[in-house]
Amino acid sequence: MDAYVITIAREYASGGREIGQMLSKKLGIGFYDKYIIRLASEDSGIHEEAFGRVDEYTSAKTPRFGKTGVYSGTLLPPQSPDFMSDENLFSYQAKIIRELAEKEDCVIIGRCSNFILDIRHYPRVLRVFVHASSFEHRVEAAKKMMSKSEKEIIEFLRKDDERKRDFCRRYIGKEWTEPENYDLVLDTSKIGIEKAMEEIEEAYLRLKRKA
């Protein structure tokens, strides 16, 4: 039986990851972020650094390896010349995400998990987007997490937004920030992290009650 899952896509410094950790602790369910890369590495036999490289350098315009198209779920065997392609690395991460959604209640951060666990096949998934409409709010929050100048932080945030946008466009063919791709969209610069966490918790418990 499918588990109940919360996926959280988020802008950096909007508090999305922190909210996910809070929900995991309060609800007593698993929390998966970059650990998915390790699981995908163990499953595929491909070194973790390869997965990290794809995350960091993804471009919608210039693939690092052979382009095979938008994510379809197909996994290539080790003997394939495209085994180490960006697309196959993404597919292994997607495989891990689907397996998690089928075996345990959990929170999954990012990695296009809201698209991978689409509503047609995973009705027990709550898809959340956490953002901050005030860019200044994100800058101030980032200052507490990064040892960089304000100018460097602003540049980092803009590049990170572009990276996530391109990642989603390349592998899913959809827009990362479009509200229609989520069940719940929350602005932490207006309602705060605690209230956002409460809203997600309420929606999650309501989803479970409908079963």
Judge whether residue 197 has pLDDT over 90: yes
pLDDT in tens, 71-96: 778 899 999 999 999 889 999 999 99
Name the pTM for this structure: 0.92
CA distance 133 to 144: 19
Cα–Cα dist 105/82, whole Å: 33
How high is the pLDDT of residue 57? 55
State pLDDT tens for residues 57-74: 554 444 443 444 567 788
Residues paired with 6 in a beta bridge = 107, 126
Per the DSSP assignment, residues forming a β-bridge with 187 are 131
pLDDT tens across 124-174, in order? 999 999 999 999 999 999 999 999 999 999 999 999 999 999 999 989 999
What is the distance, to the nearest Å, from the Cα of residue 147 to the centroid of all Cα atoms in its chain?
24
Q: Of 193, 156, 162, nearest to 17 (Cα)?
A: 193
Neighbours of 10 (CB within 10 A): 22
Q: What percent of the chain has pLDDT over 90?
A: 81
What pLDDT shows up at residue 120?
86
The domain ranges of the chain are: 5-209
Backbone dihedral angles phi then psi of residue 131, each to the nearest 5 degrees: -145, 180
Provide CB contacts within 8 A for 199, sequence distance 6+.
Answer: 184, 186, 191
4: nearest Cα among 122, 109, 115: 122
- Comparing CA positions, the residue from 122, 93, 123, 95 lying closest to residue 110 is 93
CATH architecture assigned to 5-209: 3-Layer(aba) Sandwich (3.40)
